[in-house]
Structure 1
Amino acid sequence: MSSDADFPNQRIFCIDSVSFYASCECHYRNLPPLTTKLAVVSDLKRSGSVILAASPALKALGIKTASRLYQIEQLPYKDRKQIHLVEPRMLRYMKTSIRVLDVLHQFGPPEAIRVYSIDESFIDMTGTERLFGDDFEAAKQIQNAILEQTGIHVRIGIGPNNVIAKLALDLLGKKQGIARCGYADVPRLLHDFPIRKMWGIGNQMEHHLNRLGIETIGDLADAPLEMLHERFGVIGAELWHHAWGIDQSPTTVDPTALFRPASSRQKTIGHGVTLMRDYYEYDQIRLVLSELASDVAARVRFSNQLGWTVHLGVRYSRHVVRAGFSKQLRLPYPTSDERIILRHILQLFEPNWLEHEPIRFLSVSLGQLVPDQGALQLSLFEDNARVWKRKRLLKAIDHVNLRYGKGTIRLAVAFLDTSVAKRRLRFVGGHPGGNGDDTLS
Structure 2
Amino acid sequence: MDSSKRIVFLIDMQSFYASVEKAANPDIRDKPIVVAGDPKRRSGVVLAACPLAKAYGVTTAEALWQAEQKCRHLVVVRPRMEMYMHVSLQITRIFESFTDLVEPYSIDEQFLDVTGSLSLFGEPREIARKIRERVKQETGIVCRVGIGENKILAKMACDNFAKKREDGTFWLKKAELGETLWTLPIEKLFGVGSRMKRHFHRMGIYRIQQLADLSPGVLMRRWGVNGEVLWNTAHGIDESPVSPRAHDVQKGIGHHMTLPRDYHTAEEIKVVLLELCEEVCRRARSKGLMGQVVSVGCRGADLAAGNGFYRQMKLAEPTHDATALYMGVCHLFERHWQHLPVRSVRVNLGQLAPDNVVQLSLFDDTPRRRSLGLVMDDIRRRYGNDAIVRAVSVLKAGQAKERAKKIGGHYK
| Counterpart for residue 9 of structure 2 | 13
Aligned residues: 409
1:201 to 2:185 alignment? no
Tell me if the contact between 1:44 and 1:86 (Cα under 8 Å) persists in the aligned partners: no
Match of 2:320 among 315, 336, 358: 336
Shift of 1:276: 0.8
Distance 1:326 1:120 in 2: 30
SS of equivalent to 2:192: coil
Is 1:24 the equivalent of 2:24?
no
Aligned twin of 1:279: 263
Query: What's the counterpart of residue 371 of structure 2?
Result: 392
CA distance in 2, matches of 1:47, 1:349: 23
1:186 corresponding residue in structure 2? 177
Residue of structure 1 in register with 2:345 after alignment: 362
Is 1:58–2:53 an aligned residue pair?
A: yes
Match of 2:79 in 1: 88
Aligned partners of 1:423 and 1:378: how far apart in 2?
39
Map 1:306-325 to 2 at 5 A: 306-318=290-302, 323-325=307-309
Residues 120-131 of structure 1 aligned to structure 2 (within 5 Å): 120-131=109-120
Query: Structure 1 residue 69 and structure 2 residue 48: aligned?
Result: no
Give the counterpart letter for 2:11 in structure 1: I
**Residue 439 of structure 1 aligns with which residue?**
none
Query: Which of the residues 339, 350, 362 maps onto 1:378?
Result: 362
- CA distance in structure 2 between the aligned counterparts of 1:119 and 1:139, rounded to whole angstroms: 16
Higher deviation after alignment, 83-92 or 340-349: 340-349
- Kept in 1: contact 2:289–2:320 (CA 8 A): yes
Output one character per residue of 1:98-125: Cα deviation in whole Å (capped at 9) or x when no partner: 11112212222x2x22211111112222
1:41 aligns with 2:41: no
SS at match of 2:180: helix
Q: CA deviation at 1:172?
A: 0.9
Give the AA of the match of 1:212.
M
Question: Structure 1 residue 368: deviation in Å?
Answer: 4.9
> Residues of 1 paired with 2:117 and 2:289: CA distance?
45
CA drift at 1:138: 2.3
* CA distance in structure 1 between the aligned counterparts of 2:43 and 2:102, rounded to whole angstroms: 38
Q: Is the 8 A contact 2:39 2:45 kept in 1?
A: no
Question: Counterpart of 1:286 in structure 2: which amino acid?
Answer: K
Given that 2:145 and 2:162 are in contact with CA atoms closer than 8 Å, whether structure 1 keeps it comes out as yes
Greater Cα shift, 369-378 or 120-129: 369-378
Deviation at 1:143, TM superposition (A): 1.1
| Partner Cα distance (2:80, 2:211) in 1 | 41
Q: Out of 169-178 and 416-425, give the one that drifted further.
A: 416-425
Q: Could you tell me how far 1:201 is from its partner in structure 2?
A: 2.0
Residue aligned with 1:100, SS: helix
Aligned residue for 1:299? 283
Counterpart CA distance in 1 for 2:256 and 2:28 is 38
Identity of paired residues, percent? 38
SS across alignment from 1:246: coil
Alignment gaps of 5+ in structure 1: 434-441
Counterpart amino acid of 1:214? I
What amino acid sits opposite 1:232 in the alignment?
Answer: W
Give the conservation status (yes or no) of the 8 Å contact 1:228–1:240: yes
User: Deviation at 1:395?
Assistant: 2.7
Alignment partner, residue 151 of structure 2:
162
Q: Report what 2:404 is aligned to.
A: 425
- Length-normalised TM-score, structure 1: 0.82
Which amino acid in the other structure matches residue 231 of structure 1? R
Q: Hey, what's the Cα distance between the residues in 1 that align with 2:200 and 2:377?
A: 48
Q: State whether residues 51 and 67 of structure 1, in contact with CA within 8 Å, keep that contact through their aligned partners in structure 2.
A: yes
Normalised TM-score (structure 2): 0.87
How many Å apart are 1:244 and its aligned residue? 1.9
Bigger Rg, which one: 1
Contact 1:48 1:70 in 2 (8 A): no
Quote the Cα distance in structure 2 between the aligned partners of 1:135 and 1:368: 41
What residue number does 2:104 align with? 115
Aligned partners of 1:16 and 1:156 also within 8 Å: yes
**Per-residue Cα deviation, 1:362-407 (whole angstroms, up to 9, x for no partner):** 233445555542342222xxxx5x6543332123223444566544
Alpha-carbon separation, structure 1, partners of 2:293 and 2:7: 47
Structure 1 residue 38: Cα displacement: 0.6
CA-to-aligned-CA distance 1:209-238 (integer Å, 9 cap, x gap)? 222222111111111122122222222222
Do the aligned partners of residues 21 and 322 (structure 1) sit closer, same or farther apart at CA in structure 2, a change above 3 Å counting? Answer: closer
Name the SS of the counterpart of 2:67 in structure 1.
Answer: helix
5+ residue gaps, structure 2, are none
Distance 1:298 1:396 in 2: 11
Instruction: Provide the secondary structure at the position in 2 that maps to 1:80.
Output: coil
Partner deviation per Cα, 1:15-70 (whole Å, 9 max, x = no partner): 1111111111111111575x531111121547882110011111111111112111
Whether the aligned pair in 2 keeps the contact of 1:311 and 1:366 (CA below 8 Å) is yes
Cα distance in 2, alignment partners of residues 303 and 327 from structure 1? 25
d(CA) in 2 for partners of 1:185, 1:400: 58
